[in-house]
Amino acid sequence: MLDKLVEYADSYIGVTNPGFRPKEVKWALQFSTNGDFQNVLELGNTSDKKNRGKLFPKCPDFSPAEIVSWGYRHFLVDTAEVVACYTKAEKKELEKIVAKHKTFTKLISLAREAMPILGVVLNALNDKNVLEDICAKLKDKKVKPTDNVTFRIGEEFPLESSDWHQWWESFRAAQSVSNRNKDTIVPNSKKKKRCFISGNIIEPVSTHPKVSGLSDVGGLSSGTTLVGFDKEAFCSYGFDQGENAPISESSAVKYRAALDDLIKKHSATFINTKVVHWYKYMLPENSEDPLDILVSGDIEGSTLQALQQMKKMLDSIKNGEIVNLGNNQYYCLALSATGGRIMIRSWIEGKIESLTQNIYSWFEDMAIVNRNGGNALAPAPKFYAVLGSLVRDIKDVPPPLVVALWRSAITGCQLPRPVIGMALSRIRTALSKDEPVLHAGIGVLKAYLLRHYRSEEGGNEMAENIKKFVNPEHPSPAYQCGRLMAYFASLQYRALGDVGAGVVQKYYASASVTPALVIGRLTTLSQFHISKLKNNGGFWYEQRISEIFTRMGDSIPVTLTLEEQSLFALGYYQQMAELRTRKEVGEQEPIEQESIIEATV
Q: Which stretches of the chain bind another protein, using CB under 8 A?
A: 1-4, 189, 192-194, 196-197, 199, 201, 226-234, 236-239, 244-247, 338, 341-347, 349, 399-400, 403, 407
Neighbours of 71 (CB within 10 A): 12
| Phi and psi, residue 294, nearest 5° | -65, -45
CB 22 → another protein: shortest distance, Å?
Answer: 24
Q: How far is the CB of 189 from another protein (least distance, A)?
A: 8
Q: What is the dihedral of CA 62, 64, 67, 73, to 10 degrees?
A: 70
User: Shortest distance, CB of residue 562 to another protein, whole angstroms?
Assistant: 20
DSSP-derived secondary structure for 473-524: T---HHHHHHHHHHHHHHHHHHHH---SS-HHHHHHHHHTT-HHHHHHHHHH
By beta-carbon proximity to another protein, the closer residue of 355 and 577 is: 355
Angle subtended at Cα 46 by Cα 45 and Cα 48, rounded to the nearest 5 degrees: 70
In terms of Cα–Cα distance, which of 488, 467, 476 is closest to 551?
476
Q: How far is the CB of 227 from another protein (least distance, A)?
A: 5
Q: What is the DSSP letter of 347?
A: E
| Nearest distance from C-beta of residue 183 to another protein, angstroms | 21
Distance CA 216, CA 220 (A): 9
How distant, in Å, are the alpha carbons of 47, 84, 422, 480, 592 from that of 428? 48, 62, 10, 18, 22
Between 196 and 549, whose beta carbon lies closer to another protein?
Answer: 196
The least CB distance from residue 234 to another protein, in Å, is 5
Using the minimum distance from each CB to another protein, give the nearer residue, 244 or 305. Answer: 244
Query: Based on CB atoms, which residue is closest to another protein, 242 or 477?
Result: 242
Q: Which is nearer to another protein, 129 or 189 (CB)?
A: 189
- Minimum Å gap between C-beta 328 and another protein is 15
Instruction: Tell me whether residue 6 or residue 503 sits nearer to another protein (CB atom).
Output: 6
Output helix, strand, coil percentages for the chain, rounded to the nearest 5: 50, 15, 35
Q: Of 343 and 552, which CB lies nearer to another protein in the complex structure?
A: 343
CB 273 within 8 A of CB 336: yes
Shortest Å, Cβ 228 to another protein: 6
Distance in Å, CB of 531 to another protein, minimum: 56
E runs forming strands in 292-417: 329-338, 341-351
Helix-then-strand count for the chain, H and E: 21, 12
- Give the DSSP letter string of 238-283: T--GGGGS---HHHHHHHHHHHHHHHHHSEEEETTEEEEEEESSPP
Closest CA to 570 of 443, 429, 419: 443
- Which residue's CB is nearer to another protein, number 224 or number 565? 224
Q: Three-state SS across 437-468?
A: CCHHHHHHHHHHHHHHHHHCCCCHHHHHHCCC
Between 402 and 427, CB nearer to another protein: 402
Given the complex with another protein, which of 174 and 201 has the nearer CB atom?
A: 201
Given the complex with another protein, which of 208 and 371 has the nearer CB atom?
Answer: 208
Query: What is the nearest approach in angstroms of another protein to the Cβ of residue 459?
Result: 18
Please identify, using beta-carbon distances, which residue of 62 and 278 lies nearer to another protein.
Answer: 278
Residues 41/74, Cβ–Cβ less than 8 Å: no
Question: Which is it for the CA torsion 246, 248, 249, 251, positive or negative?
Answer: negative
The CB-of-291 to another protein minimum distance in angstroms stands at 19
CB of 363 to another protein, least distance (A): 23
β-bridge mates for residue 404, sequence order: none
Q: Are 547 and 539 in contact (CB under 8 A)?
A: no
DSSP 169-200: HHHHHHHHHHHHHHH--S-GGGG-EE-TTT-S
